[in-house]
């Protein structure tokens, strides 16, 4: 038992019977707050995040304590709740990062293809004016063909061609399997080859 006063099991049983609800929940909160807070702190989270997630954990306790079958298992149950709260938070952050990354990639794609296509796709500017005109025409056709690909396939090609990432690195960035990346690149190669073979020859991804 943590602290003095009535045993945790007694508090849980009284809560489940609806007895002295506010007082019992306050005792439970005060008794275990530091323990839950330290759990999140050990995960490397900021003080503010630890406080927020600790509050979220006890909110789940508040809603679910009536369903706890064995009052003696409260601490294990509390730990599972805290762990789930942490995992949900990490998943939320991961999804947020992936969304931000996808937006960033799409913005970079648009900027790179509109601002300086010669540098991105042809390896630099300068040279014979007629060659530049021809390169711009090729790049226009390439962009048009690329825009017909599914969004994730476009991102895979962008990371491969422009950023020169490996298949493994692309998989990590897009949060997909290596086989999925290979499939995207293979399908993109086939699609672009059909549309652009007369302009570029074989398409290398």
Burial 66-94 (b: 16+ CB within 10 A, else e): eebeebeebeebbeebbeebbeebeeeee
Q: In the predicted model, what is the mean pLDDT of residues 177-198?
A: 81
Give the mean pLDDT of 139-144: 69
**pLDDT category of residue 56 using cuts at 50, 70 and 90:** very high
User: CA-CA distances (angstroms) from residue 55 to 34, 52, 160?
Assistant: 11, 5, 44
Q: How far apart are CA 169 and CA 175, in angstroms?
A: 10
Radius of gyration (C-alpha) of the chain in whole angstroms: 28
Q: Where are the domains of the chain?
A: 8-93, 116-200
Domain 8-93 carries which CATH code?
1.10.1740.10
Span 116-200: which CATH code? 1.10.10.10
What pLDDT score was predicted for residue 130? 46
Confirm if 27 and 11 have CB atoms less than 8 A apart. Answer: yes
- Look up residue 149 and give its two tokens: 């690909």
Per-residue pLDDT band for 35 (boundaries 50, 70, 90) equals: very high
Q: How many CB atoms lie within 10 A of CB 157?
A: 22
Asked if pLDDT for residue 163 goes beyond 80, the answer is no
pLDDT digits over 85-126, tens only? 998 888 887 766 655 655 555 555 555 544 444 444 444 444
Q: What integer pLDDT is reported at residue 178 of this predicted model?
A: 87
Task: Give yes or no for residue 135 having a pLDDT over 80.
Answer: no
């Amino acid at each position: 038992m943590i602290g003095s006063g009535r045993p945790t099991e007694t508090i849980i049983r009284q809560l489940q019977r609806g007895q002295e609800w506010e007082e019992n929940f306050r005792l439970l909160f005060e008794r275990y707050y530091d323990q839950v807070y330290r759990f999140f702190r050990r995960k490397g989270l900021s003080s503010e995040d630890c406080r927020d997630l600790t509050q979220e954990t006890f909110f789940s306790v508040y809603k679910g304590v009536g369903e706890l079958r064995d009052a003696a298992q409260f601490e294990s149950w509390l730990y599972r709740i805290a762990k789930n709260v942490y995992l949900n938070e990490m998943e939320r952050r991961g999804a947020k990062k992936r969304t931000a990354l996808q937006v960033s990639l799409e913005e970079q794609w648009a900027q790179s293809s509109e601002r300086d296509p010669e540098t991105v796709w042809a390896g630099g500017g300068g040279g014979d004016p007629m060659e530049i005109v021809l390169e711009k025409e090729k790049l226009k056709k390439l962009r048009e063909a690329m825009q017909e690909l599914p969004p994730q396939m476009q991102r895979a090609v962008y990371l491969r061609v422009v950023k020169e990432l490996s298949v493994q690195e692309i998989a990590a960035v897009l949060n997909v399997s290596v086989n999925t990346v290979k499939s995207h690149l293979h399908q993109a190669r086939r699609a672009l080859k059909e549309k652009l073979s007369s302009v570029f020859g074989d398409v290398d991804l």
